[in-house]
Amino acid sequence: MCLSIHHRFNDVIESLKTFSFLSRYREWFLFKGACPLLLLFLVPCLLTSCEGSLSDDGDHPATKYQFITGSISLKIHLSDSGTLIDGSTIDTKYENAAIDLSFHLPVVSLSQSPGVSNTTWKDPVYGGSAYWSEVHTTEYDCEDTRATDFDTTIRVYADTASGFQPGGVQFSIQSDGSYGISVTALSSGTPTTEIHSLATNCKLPTYTSNSTKVSEVPFNNYFTPYTNGAKGSLTGMTDKSEPSHLKGTFNGTDIMTLFSQVTIPVTYTITWDFTMSN
């Protein structure tokens, strides 16, 4: 493009020489008059044409890759409690959780469309570990003394014991470099062990416990980010200096209801790391 402009500049100069009425002032006009005028026209053209754009057709370079691989992780650390007082009865719930779940996504092809590239992983799975303990205590009057009941539920998942779980992941990137990720985490069969126990010290102390399998992995729904009950999304903008690498973090806070009008916050972090290639 720059070479073409240079040739056009010479053509203009040569054509100016052919006008007879400029013969007397030709040298002055060419070097003191025409050049500044031509430069005013050519400089913006040179800046826009010689520097180039993000790509030949104006799209962000990140949309030119053919393959993508990556990972998406969910981490939650919860340790909180809430209390409800009704007369002489005091109810308290203690929540403790440690969640570390991840999708590891293999290399797949990106579908190219005008202005967008996208893909969907077929039958992606996630794994990791999840622990969630809920202890509900109820303190009340029992004859001439105070008593406390304990209702405890512990849920444990690990891919080493129950295998990886199914899910869905979609990815799209726009021509301006902005991208979006959609994640769904499901559960197959009965992957989570649930231990439920009841205890009381009213009159004759009693304790019962049982273990079973349930069909949900604790907190896996937060792969689809919820904030104060509202569904969010995972989005980002490609770094122009490294368009093949997409990395981001979503920090969310949702609300867990323990009792009527008693809630605690659930803070969680979703991170993603993708690499595109040709």
pLDDT at 109 over 90: yes
Does residue 125 surpass a pLDDT of 50? yes
Query: In the chain, which ranges are continuous DSSP H helix?
Result: 2-17, 26-28, 35-50, 159-162
**Closest Cα partner for 65 from 119, 103, 104?**
119
Centre a 10 Å sphere on the Cβ of residue 43 and count the other Cβ atoms it contains: 10
- 52 confidence band (pLDDT: 50, 70, 90): very low
Residues 149-155: what's their mean pLDDT?
98
Cα-to-chain-centroid distance, residue 117: 17
Q: Measuring CA to CA, which residue among 32, 8, 90, 87 is closest to residue 259?
A: 90
pLDDT at 195 over 90: yes
pLDDT of amino acid 114:
87
pLDDT of residue 247: 95
pTM above 0.75, yes or no: yes
State the average pLDDT for the chain. Answer: 84
